[in-house]
Amino acid sequence: MISVFISLLAYIFAFFSFLLKNFSKKEIKFLPNFFLTLGFIFYILTLLERFVQTKTFPVGDVYGMISLVGNLSVLLFLTFSRKYEFSPFGAFVSFFAFLSTLLLIPSKELGFSNPLYALHITSAGFSYAFLIFAGFTSTARLLIERKLREKKVDFSFAPLKILKKLERVFIIAGFVGLTLTLIFGSLWAKVYLGTHWVNDPKLLVTLILWLYYGFLAHMFIFKHFKPSQISYLSILGMFLSLIALLFFRHSF
């Protein structure tokens, strides 16, 4: 339990470090990301501790899943921050990581130890993280475009061209993640339930999300929609993903 409290403390320090960096003139270039990295490392250590104790990971309910998505969001943030300026998102990511890691404490272990089920959960976690980042990137892109039209861009952020590229990357990565989620889920269902598909609400919602983001991903290729329209659909998709994450569970 010590590692989870260190993780929580590190995320809180990261949150205040990002606030200080974004709203003051103090030069603390590496400190916020250091605390974020520390928090993520101790989150992983917490997972390993729980695995040693129970032989499975604590992502078997909505608390554990939100915790996984929150910390995978940290991993994505740290990865892309090495190349792009994402500091304005840092405070939100840190606070989201803190709240989601807090949910790890009451979370339950996986009910199944099958590797396919673990891959299903992992790919789902990455999918939600990518889709949430796609929504945030789309929001930032629309806000910056608006400020550029008004000539009021007065803060440091990733260039608009890079945001457009990242928006596409996150949407396509989320779609690929949903594809893997359905594939691993189908293979696991065949082993555990004897059939590749069951009328399960969570699977149905995942399939709907897959179709939705498959449509969005192909819109990038065929260019039938304006870029701003795709951004609005991406933001809508983020909210749909959060609804799926928070309110739909497997029936078995």
Complete DSSP assignment for 71-129: HHHHHHHHHHHTTS--HHHHHHHHHHHHHHHHTTTT----S---HHHHHHHHHHHHHHH
Statement: residue 153 has pLDDT above 90: no
- The pLDDT assigned to 119 comes to 82
CA distance 245 to 252: 16
- The DSSP annotation for 183-198 comes to HHHHHHHHHHHSSS--
Statement: residue 26 has pLDDT above 80: no
- The pLDDT assigned to 8 comes to 92
- The pLDDT assigned to 27 comes to 66
Share of the chain above pLDDT 70, in %: 86
Of the candidate ranges 118-122, 223-227, 247-251, the one whose mean pLDDT is the lowest? 247-251
Mean pLDDT of the chain: 82
H or E segment and range at residue 25: none
pTM of the model: 0.77
What average pLDDT does this structure show over 146-167?
69
pLDDT 10s digits, 108-134: 666 556 677 778 888 888 898 899 989
For the CA atoms of the chain, what is the radius of gyration?
A: 19
CA angle in degrees (0–180, nearest 5) for 113-116-117:
55
For residue 119, give Cα distances in angstroms to 37, 52, 79, 183, 189.
24, 19, 21, 10, 13
What average pLDDT does this structure show over 214-231?
82
Domain ranges of the chain: 1-111, 118-252
Q: How far is CA 9 from the centre of its chain?
A: 21
pLDDT tier at 208, thresholds 50, 70, 90: very high
Statement: residue 194 has pLDDT above 60: yes
